[in-house]
Amino acid sequence: MRSFDPQGGPARDAFLQLFPGRVGVAAVGLSDYVFPLFPGEEVAIVKAVAKRRVEFSAGRHCARLAMTQLGYPASVLPSGADRAPVWPSGLTGSITHSAGVCAAVVAPCRHFLSIGIDMEPIDAVPAELADEVLRPDEIAPRGPPIRLDGVDWLTLHFCLKEAAYKAFYPRFQNIISFQEMRVEVDPRSREYLAEAQIGGKNAVPPFHGRFLVRDGRVYAACW
C-alpha cells in the first residue's frame, strides 16, 4: 500500500487519544490520488465524481491500514444499506472525511459493539441550520454565543451527533434526524452522552463519546 500521508497525522493522533481502548487508527490527507479498491467496492462509486472517488478510496485505504494495526488482514469493505460500511467479521469501525483529510478507526467487536467518528472544521455549520441541528433542550442559555475550546456550539453538536449516528446505525438500522438524537455535553470532561429518541422515547441505551478541539477542527468519537 502507498506510504502514510503525514497530513493525516493530527487526525490520527486525535482519534487515538479519544478512544478508551485499543483501536486501529489511520488518516491521510486527500489529494487527487485514488487508492486501489478491492473487488466489490467499486460499485458504491461507479457514478461518482472524482472528488468522491478520492475520498471513498482513501476511507478504504485508511480502514485497511487500521485493520492491520490490530493484526487483522486488510479486507474488502463494501458499502451496505444507507452507505454504512460492512466490516469484516469480528471488527467494527467508522470512517470520516472532511476538509481535505480522511480518517478511519477500527476496533474489535469484543471491545466495542459499534463506534462512530466525525471531524469538522470549527464554524463549519451555518447558523441557519441551528433549528434543524439543535433540539430545544440543547440550545445554550441566552447570552453571548458559547464556544468550547474555540468550537462554536452548533458545529460541536453537529459533529457529536454525526459520530453518534454512525455508531447507532449499524446496530439499529434506523435513519434518525438531528432532532431525534439528543446530546448532553459535559464541558469539563469533554465527554458526551447521545440518546437516540424515537417517538419521544429513548430508543436504545445511550452511547458514550468524547471530543477534542485542535488546530481548528473538532474531533468526536462515540461508542
Applying CB under 6 A, the residues found at the interface with ligand COA are 55-56, 59, 79, 82-85, 95-98, 118, 161-162, 165-166, 169-170, 175-178, 181
Closer CB to ligand COA, 2 or 83, in the complex: 83
Give the CA distances from residue 157 to residues 121, 132, 133, 139, 163, in Å, rounded to whole numbers and listed in that order.
13, 11, 7, 10, 10
DSSP secondary structure letter of residue 205? P
∠ CA 176-137-115, rounded to 5°: 40
Cell digits of residue 70: 490490530
Cβ–Cβ under 8 Å, residues 92 and 113:
yes
- Dump the DSSP string for 8-36: GHHHHHHHHHH-SS--EEEEEE--S--PP
Alpha helices in the chain (DSSP H): 9-18, 50-69, 130-133, 153-172
Question: To the nearest whole angstrom, how small is the minimum distance from the Cβ of residue 97 to ligand COA?
Answer: 4
Q: 4 or 172: whose CB is closer to ligand COA? A: 172
50 vs 144, beta carbon nearer ligand COA: 50
Nearer to ligand COA by Cβ, of 32 and 141: the residue is 32
* Least spacing, CB of residue 13 vs ligand COA, in Å: 18
* Of 59 and 209, CB closest to ligand COA: 59
> Backbone phi, then psi, for 7, in 5-degree steps?
-65, -20
Nearer to ligand COA, 188 or 198 (CB): 198
Output the smallest distance, CB 135 to ligand COA, in A.
Answer: 11
Instruction: Write the CB contacts of 52 (distance below 8 Å, at least 6 apart in sequence).
Output: 45
As measured in angstroms, the least distance from the Cβ of 52 to ligand COA is 8
Question: What's the min distance (Å) between Cβ of 143 and ligand COA?
Answer: 26
